[in-house]
Every structure is written in structure tokens, then in C-alpha cells.
Amino acid sequence: MTIVDNGVNVKALLDAREVLKDAAEAAQFTWRATSKWQKGVHSTTTIQNFFGLGQEQSHKAEAVFDADHPEVFAAEDNGITPIEYLLVGLASCLTAGVASVAQNRGIQLRSVESTVEGNHDIRGILGVDGDVRNGFNNIKVTFTIDADASQQEIEALVAQSQKRSAVFDALTNPTDVTVEVA
Amino acid sequence: MLERGEVANSWRRERWDSLRLLTPNWQTRLPGQRYDGPDPDGYQTMGEVTAFLDAYATASGAPVRTGTNVTSLRRADGGYVATTSNGRIHCRTVVIASGACNQPTVPPFAEAVPKTVTRLTPFDYRGPAQLPDGGVLVVGASATGVQLAAELRRAGRPVILSVGEHVRLPRTYRGRDVLWWMDASGLWDQRYDEVDDLARARRLPSPQLVGTPERTTLDLNALAAMGVELVGRLAAVRDGRALFSGGLRNVFSLADLKLRRLLDTFDEWAAGRDIDVDPPERFAPTAAAETARLQLDLHSSEVRTVLWATGFRPDYRWLDVPVIDAKGRLTHDGGVVDSPGLYALGLPLLRRRKSTFIHGIEDDARDVIDHLARHLAAPR
């Protein structure tokens, strides 16, 4: 029997699922980012610490993300636009899901690639037309997957990864957002 | 045997007028009693179901005490004491057979629906004429939701159907009722201790089926063809607006993939067997509209009624024995409740996938009553 290894520790995930069944408290995580304005529409956002499993946690290293607007928006393009970060989040979340589900189902992956396109009518953010929304009108993700599995099994991987995706949920369902001044 | 109302009470009083059983007549059977009428492939109306159960109660001589509502059950010396509307009963063992559908479930944000909109559950609903004129938002696409959406659309109502995860089934497959396949292939006999994720399997929504003389399939493609507008799962009601999930395509995919796997299972089972069935078929994927709306203004008069087809739950408020989990579900192992002498029957996948179907109770009842008899025989 060949050993399927996609590098996902599924046993740890399944164990966590068992443990957290009766420990809702420990399952409460808070993810945090701090952001600082640089100049123009350029900002840097830093992420290192988060809370979970009942205590403060930390990534191995601090990560810094530059966000800016492109030159066609008359900006300096010091980083990707904020709305593109949503694409980063969606693609990486679904990809992680595909790998995890594949591992759990005993499917060896050879390559998983995806393209994510978010269609955006910028008349919304410019206030040109009040009927146009600020955010994406729609998003399309296309996966190309090479794996030891049938087309149907691959489609099922992708469907299941959406079903268990934090970012897919955050984008497709409303979230209560509070923004205040300290 | 205590019955709060009459025999077949919930079938008489808690179902809509047009409802028919999902199981074909030949499959609707109880020990020693089966359908012997002219239409074995048909589906019984509520009147026929109540007559069927009435006949069984009479033929079996079951000691039914009707009009006896249990208001409390608690442990007492060596057994239990039930407080009822007709006095107290002491007993050594109890079988809870009050069912899984005692109360309609509505989402927590149901209260946020504007009061100008009529809100109904399937327990309140009898037929289209009872609703105010105008459009209807049906929330939920299990058997109840798809049946009510179709009935309202046929009555000329504009209907929007909010669809979350669902179970798609054709009414017939390869010339046989799909429930024949469930039965014959052995799938319905799959036991609770063989199922991968039992908690999830027990929460599975009822399949998109309807019993009609024409044996028609009532999946989402059929509803869309009738002019029912499909929208995503209702995620919230905020400022008088219903907000629907943008994940509709994925719930379509999940259901289509599960259906294909199920049909593959049937085909594998049928291969090489000498059975009279048509060639394998595959059904068109659920078609997604170019765009599905994400919001609905409930203050506009587009929709005058919201119908919550969002499931049912059991009512254990009378059960004063600590065997209910944080989610309000009875804790049991195949109907053996974690309190000596206490048992359950007729819950989803109690011991087998067929547990909640009329013919499915027989095997479960034998197993549970075996355990009960051993309990009674054991020295105290």
C-alpha cells in the first residue's frame, strides 16, 4: 500500500476535533493585525500574535504586509491593493482545505494550482453610482489539480474544501463588523 | 401506550393538507399489515396514513390510552414515574416514542423579520389559500421546503426558495422508486455503528422528494423550471433585509456529487444481479442562474410571507431525567438511553438508516425490546 503524504497532519486535526467537541472555550480564537499608515494610500499591517486554546499564541515570526494602490490609481504601488488580500486569503484557505481533505481521504496530490478572479466595479468606491456596491460583484476560483483520484473525487475535494473554509464563509456570508475610534 | 391525542395524532393535526408519504404504498408496512390496494406504487395521503395506523392499532390490540399527555417523567424507586393528564403511572421501563418532529425549528434571527410579513412554520401551514396575497420566501430546501415551494408556485405565487445544504434525489431511478433502491441495495439497513460520522448522519436533512401520483422528481432544477427563484442559505436578517449566502453553487455541487456517488453505489450493487431495472442514468447538474440575489428587502411588498421550512426538533421538556445533551438531543446508544430502563424508538438513524420510516421501525423495535426484556429479567 502506498502511503499518502500531502504534508498535512490530519491525525492532529482529527484529535483536536475530538477534544474541542466538549471544550467550546478552548476553541475560541482571536486573530489580530495591527496597521500603520505610511503615506498616501500606503499602509503596513503587521501580524504576529493571536489568542487561542485558552492563551496567547505567537507565530514563529512577525509578518508585514504592504498595501497600496496601483499606479493606474495614481498611487505608488508599494504593495497589493487591500481587496487583493481577500483573494490571497480565499486562495490559500481553499488550497489548505483541498490538501487537508485529500489527506483525510487518502488521496495523493501532485499539484494544486488555482487562479482567483474577483470582478470589481470601481464606480462603487468612487461614488459614481450609488447602485454599484463597493466590494466584489463576484469571485471565480478555478482549480487545476493533479492527483491520484478520479475527476469526481477531485470535484468532491474542492466542494468539501469550500464547505469547511473560513474565508469562503467570511466572503459569502455576512459578518458583523464594528469599527470604532479608540 | 400513552397518546396525547388520538392515534396518528401528528399525521392528523401537524401536517399540511396536500402531504403524502414519501414511501410508496408497497413499502408502507407494519408487522402483519401491508398495503393491499390497487396502487402499490402510489403514496398515501394523510387520510390514508391515519386510517392505516388506526387499523393497525385495532388489529394489534395495542393498549392505547388516548388523550393522555405526559407532563413529566422522572426516576423513581427501581423505575420511573410518569405524570400524565390522567394521573400518575409507575413503571420499571419506559420507551420514548414521541418522535423527532415535535416542534418546528426556526433560526435565531427569525424575530428580526418585520412584523408586517406573515411568518409561518409547517405546523401552521395548511395550504396556499391561507397566506396573504403576494410572494413567499420559503426558507429551507429539504422535503418540506421543496414541496411547499412547489405547491405555492403552482397556486400562482411568486416564490423565492432559500437553499442551504440539501439531499438531492430523483423520484425514480432506472424505472424503480428511489426508495426501492435504498431498500433493496441494503443501504437502508446500514447500522448506526457502521456509519462514519453518526452525529452528522443523524442531522441529515430529509431528501428532496414528494409523493405524487405522477411520481415526479422535485429537485431544484424542477423547481427552477416552474419559476421558483433559488437563492443561497438565509444567513441573517439585518435592518429588515434578508441576507443570503453567496455559496449557492457549492451547495449545488455538494448535493450533485453525493447524488452521483449514491447512484454509483446503486449501479455497483445492481451489476450482475438478475433484477428488472432500466439502464443506468445520470441527471443534469443543478443549474445555477447567472446571478442569485444576495439580499431581499422584507419591507418591500415583494414577499408577504416567510415560511420557515428549517427543520424540526423533538420536545423533551417533559423529560425530567438528565439524558439530554447541550444541543437538546437525547443521549442514547441505538435507542438504549443512558438511564437504566429508559429506551427510545423512532429517531433518525436510531439503529439503521431506515429508522424513521414506517417500515423501518420493526427491526429497531425488536432490538430495543430485546434489551428491555433482558433489563426486566435481570435480578434487581
- The pLDDT tens digits for A146-163 are 999 999 999 999 999 999
Q: Is A162 on the interface with B (CB under 8 A)?
A: yes
DSSP letter (8 states) at residue B288? P
Residues of A in contact with B282 (CB under 8 A): none
Provide the CATH number for the domain around residue A88: 3.30.300.20
Q: What is the pLDDT along chain B (380 residues), one digit of tens a residue?
A: 999 999 999 999 999 999 999 999 999 999 999 998 999 999 999 999 999 999 999 999 999 999 999 999 999 988 999 999 999 999 999 999 999 999 999 999 999 999 999 999 999 999 999 999 999 999 999 999 999 999 999 999 999 999 999 999 999 999 999 999 999 999 999 999 999 889 999 999 999 999 999 999 999 999 999 999 999 999 999 999 999 999 999 999 999 999 999 999 999 999 989 999 999 999 999 999 988 999 999 999 999 999 999 999 999 999 999 999 988 999 999 999 999 999 999 999 999 999 999 999 999 999 999 999 999 998 87
Using DSSP's 3-state secondary structure scheme, residue B155 falls into coil
Examine residue A16 and state whether it is found in any structural domain, yes or no: no
Q: Contact at 8 Å (CB) between B126 and B16?
A: yes
Picking from B165, B257, B291, the nearest residue to A152 by CB comes out as: B257
Asked whether the beta carbons of residue A156 and residue B257 sit closer than 8 angstroms, the reply is yes
Find the Cα–Cα–Cα–Cα dihedral B363, B368, B370, B372, rounded to 10°.
Answer: -160
Percent of chain A's residues with pLDDT above 90: 86
Residues of B in contact with A169 (CB under 8 A): 247
- The predicted structure's pLDDT at residue A144: 98
Nearest CA among B233, B185, B172, B158 for reference residue B41: B172
* Most A CBs within 10 Å, among B237, B243, B254, to test the A interface: B254
Q: Do A150 and A121 belong to one domain?
A: yes
Please tell me the CATH code under which domain B108-243+271-280+293-311 is placed: 3.50.50.60
Examine residue A182 and state whether it is found in any structural domain, yes or no: no
**Quick one: pLDDT band at residue A1, thresholds 50, 70, 90?**
low
Asked whether the beta carbons of residue A159 and residue B253 sit closer than 8 angstroms, the reply is yes
Q: Contact at 8 Å (CB) between A75 and A61?
A: no
Find the Cα–Cα–Cα–Cα dihedral B53, B54, B59, B64, rounded to 10°.
Answer: 100
CA–CA separation, B219 and B209 (whole Å)? 7
Nearest CA among B348, B346, B87, B82 for reference residue B205: B348
In chain B, domain spans: 9-102+313-377, 108-243+271-280+293-311
Whole-complex ipTM: 0.89
Mean pLDDT over the full length of chain A: 95
Which residues of B lie closer than 8 Å to A, measured between beta carbons? 165, 232-233, 235-236, 238, 243, 245-247, 250, 253-254, 257, 260-261, 291
The DSSP line for chain A is -PPP--S--HHHHHHHHHHHTT-TTTT--EE--EEEEEETTEEEEEEEEEEETTEEEEEEEEEEEEE---GGGTS---SB-HHHHHHHHHHHHHHHHHHHHHHHTT--EEEEEEEEEEE--TTTTTTS-TTS-SS-SEEEEEEEEEESS-HHHHHHHHHHHHHT-HHHHHHHS---------
- Count of A–B CB contacts within 8 Å? 39
- The predicted structure's pLDDT at residue A23: 87
Residue A33 has pLDDT above 70, yes or no: yes
Read off the pLDDT of residues A110-150 as tens digits, 9 standing for 90 and up: 999 999 999 999 999 999 998 999 999 999 999 999 999 99
Chain length of chain B: 380
Angle at B107 between CA B104 and CA B112, to 5 degrees: 120
CB atoms near residue A53 (< 10 Å)? 15
Q: Contact at 8 Å (CB) between B24 and B41?
A: yes
Asked whether the beta carbons of residue B254 and residue A169 sit closer than 8 angstroms, the reply is no
The C-alpha of B101 sits at a distance from chain A's nearest C-alpha, in angstroms, of: 25
DSSP letter (8 states) at residue B45? B
Asked whether the beta carbons of residue A173 and residue B254 sit closer than 8 angstroms, the reply is no
Q: Do A54 and A86 belong to one domain?
A: no
Examine residue A108 and state whether it is found in any structural domain, yes or no: yes
CA–CA separation, A52 and A30 (whole Å)? 7
Q: What are B16's three cell numbers?
A: 399540511
Q: Do A111 and A142 belong to one domain?
A: yes
Percent of chain B's residues with pLDDT above 90: 96
The DSSP line for B180-206 is HHHHHTSGGG-BTTT-SSHHHHHHPPP
Nearest CA among B328, B353, B112, B54 for reference residue B234: B112
Q: Do A44 and A96 belong to one domain?
A: no
- The predicted structure's pLDDT at residue A3: 83
The number of folded domains in chain A is 2
Read off the pLDDT of residues B220-264 as tens digits, 9 standing for 90 and up: 999 999 999 999 999 999 999 999 999 999 999 999 999 999 999
Examine residue A66 and state whether it is found in any structural domain, yes or no: yes
Examine residue A126 and state whether it is found in any structural domain, yes or no: yes
Mean pLDDT over the full length of chain B: 96
Query: Rounded to the nearest 10 degrees, what angle do helices A82-104 and A151-163 cross at?
Result: 120
* Most A CBs within 10 Å, among B196, B198, B253, to test the A interface: B253
Using DSSP's 3-state secondary structure scheme, residue B312 falls into strand
Q: Do A113 and A156 belong to one domain?
A: yes
Residue B157 vs residues A170, B203, B219, B228, B287: alpha-carbon distances, Å:
33, 31, 19, 9, 22
Tell the burial category of A94 from Cβ atoms under 10 Å away from its Cβ (0-12, 13-18, 19+). Answer: buried
CA–CA separation, A114 and A112 (whole Å)? 7
Asked whether the beta carbons of residue B247 and residue A160 sit closer than 8 angstroms, the reply is no
Q: Do A90 and A165 belong to one domain?
A: yes
CA–CA separation, B92 and A85 (whole Å)? 64
Q: Backbone dihedral region of B132: left (phi > 0), alpha (psi from -120 to 50 degrees) or beta?
A: beta
Q: Do A156 and A118 belong to one domain?
A: yes
**Torsions phi, psi of B138, nearest 5?**
-100, 125
Closest-CA residue of B relative to A162 is B250
Q: Is A7 on the interface with B (CB under 8 A)?
A: no
Picking from B236, B253, B261, the nearest residue to A174 by CB comes out as: B236
Asked whether the beta carbons of residue A159 and residue B236 sit closer than 8 angstroms, the reply is no
Q: Contact at 8 Å (CB) between B248 and B288?
A: yes
- The predicted structure's pLDDT at residue A105: 94
Spell out the long-range contacts of B66-72 with Cβ–Cβ below 8 A and sequence spacing 24 or more: B66/B3, B66/B5, B66/B6, B66/B7, B67/B3, B67/B4, B67/B5, B67/B6, B68/B2, B68/B3, B68/B4, B69/B2, B69/B4, B70/B2, B70/B4, B70/B318, B71/B318, B72/B318, B72/B320
Query: Considering only the top CATH level, what class is B9-102+313-377?
Result: alpha beta
Q: Do A86 and A167 belong to one domain?
A: yes
Residues of B in contact with A152 (CB under 8 A): 257, 260-261
* Most B CBs within 10 Å, among A94, A150, A173, A175, to test the B interface: A173
CA atoms within 13 A on the CB side of B87: 3
Q: Contact at 8 Å (CB) between B139 and B145?
A: yes
Q: Is A23 on the interface with B (CB under 8 A)?
A: no
The C-alpha of B312 sits at a distance from chain A's nearest C-alpha, in angstroms, of: 23
Q: Do A124 and A94 belong to one domain?
A: yes
Asked whether the beta carbons of residue B250 and residue A168 sit closer than 8 angstroms, the reply is yes
Domain span at A47: 27-76
